[in-house]
Chains A and B, each alone.
Chain A
Amino acid sequence: MLPEMLLELRPNLDYAAVVVLFCIGLYAVIVKNNLIKKLLGLNIMETAVFAFIVTSGMVEGGAPPVLGPGVMPPLASPLPHALILTGIVVALATTALALALIIRIYLQHGTIEADQLRELD
């Protein structure tokens, strides 16, 4: 039963990996108690989405628009890479802001554990 499913997944193994990674990240964001671990979970989710978009740039049998006809496959579309470069910058800004907020929270409350912060409210 299970091997058959895996065989079915094989052509889309990259997408399956992305889904698993996304779920690991989401799990960490929801379940982990430490704010930094939540943030790490968020970063894992980000990586999953970026990986998905980058892999979608691989086109089997694609032809390069600019280079001459002599170029050999495999070829990748450069557009997703450009998009994800922007995406990484956004993720960096998010992470930096979140870390700054975590530092401020620690300075003001003396803890970054979500349950202890909830008791403080």
Chain B
Amino acid sequence: MAAALTVSWSALAAWPHWLIVLILLPLGGAVLTPALYALQRRLVPWWALLVAGLTALTVLPLLWRLAHEGPFSYLPGGWARPYGVELRFDEFAALLAAAVALLAPPVLLFSRRYAARAVPAGRLPFYYTLLLLNLGGLLGLAITADLFNLFVFLEVVSLSAYALVAVGGRPVAELAAFKYLLMGAISSLLILLAVGILFALTGSLNMADVAQRLPALATPAALTLAAAALLVGFMLKAALFPLHNWLPEAHASAPGAVSAVLSGLVVKAGIIGLVRTYQLFAGVELLDTANLGAILVWLGAASVVMGSFFAVFQHDLKLMLAYSTITNIGYIVMGWALASPQAMLGASLHLFNHALIKTTLFLAAGALIYRTGLRTLEELRGIGRTMPLNCAALALGALAIVGVPPTAGFVGKWFIALGALQAGRPFFALVVVFGALLAAVYYVRIINAFYFREPEQKAVVTAREVPWSMLAPVLLLALLCLGIGLLARLPVEFLEPAVARLLDGRS
């Protein structure tokens, strides 16, 4: 029985077209959403959930094949590389794809009741269309092996994200969306410029091909410009300090389910971009990648400290969570730039775990705002008594993001700290600890306000738990925050060879 099951799994995974289905499903589903709204508007949330669920299922055979065969490619139309477009599923693509697959269905289930209130009725079809486009773009961005497609998918993600910030129609949100758009468009242009320079230098757009051709070039100025443009572009997308200004307002003023996707997944697009940049330039001797790494380590450390520092002084729950995203992006970038095997492993783990935890936190916060309409800690005090399950999920997420063992947030930070020691730079291990302490300060403030203060607002006293279709995804994700920390061995063993390959420069 087990053997038969294994055989049929591998037969399923051997079907070559899963990789393109992975993008076409959400993008196609997104395009059809407004049409469905015109026919049967009540079905739209279920439709979006169905598309997200099927997309999530599509990731399974891909992961199976990756685990058994290692990274593999798909050539749409059968054009040989480097002439045609290539899709490639490697461990880092798998990381982002798995995060999208895991988080998309709960977010869309949560959205059904939540968006009905948070989004004006006429905009509901656009809400679901944009959300599916965004998720499809993220998946495309993860698996593309082509520089120009990287830009195109990045734009799909970014444009849908700008619109999603404004879709709720709060007065602050539209201004925040415009600022986000301005910053995002500048970073996209820098990335396009770099793609253009790399194409002019090598005559190729395939990333692996470009990476092979770059070391032979003798044009340091052009190479530096391309690397710098890519770096700054993706840093802006990832909101690394000091390019973080657009993030807090945009993430805090968006509807809760959107904040979850933006903070959990969309900023990771910038991280994946940085990984791809590293893969491109790893073999180039004209460029001192160690120097780039040194800059990124410090910027990452600054992000960790400054993000927490700003968060401590916030009163708005969602603004706190948004600043905490800057901190965690700092951890991930710092881990990557330390370039020791364990630090990179930790950064990769934290990329996934932070997506999970931050989605939990934003969904739980969204549920509180859904019931009470209140946003600041002062107003929300005592809410732990009237919405105990939801607040328990939020508290669990808070513990996880502070990094209390054995939660999900602990594993990544632990490996980053170990990696800092391994790289011979104990100072950055201290930064990890210091960041966790600062995070504890403001997350304890949240827990204190919710559980140990008397409620004052009428809306808090009369609040009830949110409906099950909203509570269930929040609780499920909160339990996963706990569970994934206990099951950390599996992803560690999965990622170790990938990190080793990356450090050897044969990606």
A: residues with CB less than 8 A from B are 22, 26, 29, 35, 38, 42, 45-46, 49, 52-53, 56, 79-80, 83, 86-87, 90, 93-94, 97-98, 101-102, 104-105, 108-109, 117, 121
Contacts and interface: CB of A to CB of B under 8 A. Distances in A.
B196 interface: yes
A23 B152 CA distance: 24
B181 A26 contact: no
10 contacts: A26-B186, A42-B185, A53-B195, A53-B200, A98-B181, A101-B178, A102-B178, A108-B171, A108-B174, A121-B172
B175 interface: yes
A90 B186 contact: no
B116 interface: no
B189 A56 contact: no
A109 B192 contact: no
Categorize the interface residue count of chain B: 20 to 34
Nearest to B170: A108
A45 B196 CA distance: 14
A79 B189 CA distance: 19
B135 to A, nearest CB: 18
A80 B148 CA distance: 10
Nearest to B165: A101
A49 B177 contact: no
Interface centre among A22, A49, A109, A117 (most CB of B within 10 A): A49
Interface of chain A, main secondary structure: helix
Contacts of A46: 185, 189
A97 B175 contact: no
B487 interface: no
Interface stretch (B155-163, B307-315, B346-354, B356-364): B155-163
A98 B181 CA distance: 7
Nearest to A45: B189
B155 A90 contact: yes
B216 interface: no
Contact of A97 (B152, B163, B186): B163
Contacts of B192: 49, 53, 87
A63 B418 CA distance: 55
B199 interface: yes
A29 B198 CA distance: 26
B182 interface: yes
A104 B159 contact: no
B193 interface: yes
A53 B151 CA distance: 14
Contacts of A45: 186, 189
Contacts of A56: 196, 199-200
B166 interface: yes
Contacts of A26: 186
A48 to B, nearest CB: 8
Contacts of A104: 166, 174
B178 A94 contact: no
Interface string B197-213: 00110000000000000
A81 B466 CA distance: 53
B186 A29 contact: yes
B178 A93 contact: no
Nearest to A26: B186
B8 to A, nearest CB: 40
B159 A109 contact: no
A13 B155 CA distance: 30
Nearest to A39: B182
Nearest to B159: A93
A83 B185 contact: no
A97 to B, nearest CB: 6
A42 B182 contact: yes
A108 B178 CA distance: 14
Contacts of A22: 193
Contacts of B186: 26, 29, 42, 45
Contacts of A109: 171, 175
